[in-house]
Chain A
């Protein structure tokens, strides 16, 4: 889980002018996120986003993704995979374990990512110049905007126990914005807890073929996608 990792990051930068803002994309609401947050007991901001508003605002499509924002409120790294890698795709489906080399590589990538965040906070390293940051922004389309409108409606209908109507709008959201794992997995979770990581999820991951589930960030320690 990411929350304790981010706590370590935050603790190691306690003397810096820095904040972690962790946003839980949880349409089931506070109670879905509560056990994880209470276990991690974060001292940084830990917020709940049932409507996935932040994903809509920033064009996030997966978790964990992160955006780096400087002291002036400028985006210096648009949304990117926040230290997670595709090694999980090689997981043994029976034992749910990774080969030792993959486990090691996964840990090394996560460490490299957190080191990069630390270097940025301390020295400004890895902050993208304006043009490069703009070039790295997600390419937002009309279909994605429409998908977010359906998703917002679907979540509201679900919260008001109009489950069949909700399912239609949530499915339409995923159809319009197939790159959004957040929408697909949240929808699966609303249908049934556990489904977001079930056989249909693995089939979708397999269907990616050579494409990444977690596109590697352009940072030291990560191979180009």
Chain B
């Protein structure tokens, strides 16, 4: 078993030899689908070797420009600089969901129609 950390989620998946995961798990984690031509998102396909219905998710994630770091069986799939830059280039405020003290979830984009002062602070 391996633990995969994405920006917003945590997954426990059956993994072999590094991060060889099933096509179903690869889809659940990344949204990309394993097809004969490779890993696909919509019309876009990236050639990717697969064996026995499994793919090396770490290799795939890096191939599309994202960082991967690990510690034992815990894997952190980051977001590459190009994707981050693309996300900001149009000046659309990147959306996110976070909880308040009471555990209630708030989504930034639900404030559309208002001006928002998004500010950061910390207890430390």
Q: Residues on A close to B: CB < 8 A?
A: 1-3, 6, 9, 16-26, 28, 30, 32-38, 45-49, 51, 53-60, 63-76, 78, 82, 117, 120-121, 130, 133-134, 137, 140-142, 144-146, 148-150, 152-153, 156-157, 162, 165, 168-169, 182, 185-186, 188-189, 193, 196-197
Contact = CB atoms under 8 A, between A and B. Distances in A.
Contacts of B91: 74-76, 130, 133-134
Contacts of B77: 149
B47 interface: no
B106 A47 contact: yes
Contacts, number: 223
B115 A71 contact: yes
A134 B94 contact: no
Interface stretch (B15-23, B28-36, B38-46, B61-69): B61-69
The binding surface of chain B is classed by DSSP as mixed
B84 A145 contact: yes
Given A32-B123, A48-B101, A146 B111 contact: no
B114 A63 contact: no
A186 B124 contact: yes
B12 interface: no
A152 B5 contact: yes
Nearest to A50: B98
A68 B16 CA distance: 45
Interface of B: 3, 5, 7-8, 10, 66-72, 74-81, 84-85, 87-89, 91-94, 96, 98-101, 106, 108-109, 111-124
A184 B105 CA distance: 28
User: Which of B8, B70, B106, B114 neighbours the largest number of chain A CB atoms within 10 Å of its CB?
Assistant: B114
Contacts of A3: 121
B115 A48 contact: no
A54 B71 contact: no
A185 B76 contact: no
B115 A47 contact: no
Contacts of B114: 17-19, 71
